[in-house]
Amino acid sequence: MSSSEFARICRELYAINETVNIETTESWVKFSVNNENIGGGFTLEANDSDNPELQCKIQTDTNVNLAFALRYLNMFTKASSIGQQVELHLSKEFPLMVQYKLAELGVLKFYLAPRISDNDENK
């Protein structure tokens, strides 16, 4: 997806809550937040647009729904100025990987473990 779009989503959702839920299916990815008084979110549908700003490709084997700290995701988005596209790699077994391609220089990868709620510990 577009790195500037990812940065905008993280910045706007952080104004509502500190934790974002990222949920994926084969056809869309949803970023959502909830707090006591308000909730919100963004849903991006998969598309193969020629315009990199609108492009969103999704490859998934299983649906995922995990929570992450927006504080750290906003730190990662500072790399948006050096890479036009960002890849998010989600898995229930591994941390989130946020990857920026740096033209001919290589890639820049950030890793973030999902948040574990009190409810998850009892399972």
pLDDT class for 122, splitting at 50, 70, 90? very low
Write out pLDDT tens, residues 11-63. Answer: 999 999 999 999 999 889 999 999 888 888 999 898 887 887 778 888 888 89
Torsion region of 103: left, alpha or beta (phi above 0 gives left; psi -120 to 50 gives alpha): left
Write out pLDDT tens, residues 58-108. Answer: 888 889 999 999 999 999 999 988 888 899 999 888 999 999 988 788 999
What sign for the dihedral angle of Cα 69, 23, 35, 99? positive
Rg (CA), the chain: 14
pLDDT given for residue 123 in this prediction: 46
**CATH number of the structural domain spanning residue 112:** 3.70.10.10
* Count of domains forming the chain: 1
Share of the chain above pLDDT 70, in %: 94
85's tokens? 């596209």
Which residue segment(s) compose the domain that 87 sits in?
A: 3-34+41-121
Asked if residue 119 has pLDDT above 70, the reply is: no
